[in-house]
Amino acid sequence: MKIVLLGPPGAGKGTQAEGLVKKLFIPHISTGDMFRAAISSGTALGMEAKRYIDQGKLVPDEITEGIIMDRIAQPDCRGGFLLDGFPRTLPQAMALEEMLKDQGGLDAVLDISVEPEHLIVRLTGRRMCKKCGAIYHLHYNAPQQENVCDLCGGELFQRDDDTEETVKNRLSVYSEQTAPLIEFYQKKGLLHVVEGNHPINTVLVNLGKALGQNWN
Ligand code: AP5
Ligand code: MG
Ligand code: ZN
């Protein structure tokens, strides 16, 4: 299955991707995670991407499309993949179509829908594991021990772009550049909208239903 996860910043794309890939046995490909890895390793790509990410702007399409093209050409993507955070502009969506044209295109686009007023609270309260990338929230999904990852014991940190000011920029970039993809994919008959303002596991079950799976 070749799946795209859509949704505004904080909708729960990363959180749901963790659950989806365990059920579907396909790789989770997050452009945001790939950029953050490049930033921590101090590569030229990372330094370039950081200029945009820290301001809540999108990294230019050519850079992002190149990364995805290389990634989905890897052997582990032969049986499908779950894209999280790509595409997020119309040109990126068209580039993806071109990349997949000999493989039958996408199978589904899952749009996690959450009202804007919840997103700022979700993002400013998010914490992530330095070691394994697991996603927590101070109130909605707190680790058992403060600042320690339940899964690997790693230390938790706050993303640099999760400050209130940058979050507001990210949300307006989403409305202007990414929200038009909802209509784009609806017209292609690929879109499934799933309400994201439910407990994490309920959202997972409903995403499964949209894919024709019964995970109850
Ligand atoms: P990226 O890392 O993709 O960030 P984003 O799209 O802003 O999305 P987030 O990761 O912030 O949110 P999420 O939906 O994954 O939510 P999460 O599951 O963590 O991109 C970062 C930056 O990289 C971009 O701003 C851009 O600069 C650049 N970039 C990336 N891709 C690009 C592209 N294609 N083109 C150009 N630039 C690109 O959950 C959020 C919080 O909510 C967590 O605390 C979680 O615990 C909590 N939560 C989750 N689900 C629930 C629930 N059901 N109930 C209550 N709380 C919940
Ligand atoms: Mg994410
Ligand atoms: Zn961890």
Q: What residue ranges in the chain does DSSP mark as E strands? A: 2-6, 28-30, 81-84, 108-113, 126-129, 135-137, 156-157, 191-195
- Which residues have CB atoms below 5 A from the ion given as ligand 3? 129, 131-132, 134, 149, 151-152, 154
Q: Kindly report whether the global pTM for this prediction surpasses the value 0.95.
A: yes
In tens digits, what is the pLDDT along the chain, a chain of 216 residues? 999 999 999 999 999 999 999 999 999 999 999 999 999 999 999 999 999 999 999 999 999 999 999 999 999 999 999 999 999 999 999 999 999 999 999 999 999 999 999 999 999 999 999 999 999 999 999 999 999 999 999 999 999 999 999 999 999 999 999 999 999 999 999 999 999 999 999 999 999 999 999 998
**How much distance in Å is there from the Cα of 91 to the middle of ligand 3?**
35
123, burial (CB in 10 Å: exposed 0-12, middle 13-18, buried 19+):
buried
Q: Report the distance separating Cα 51 and Cα 119, nearest Å.
A: 23
Q: Determine whether 36 is an active site residue.
A: no
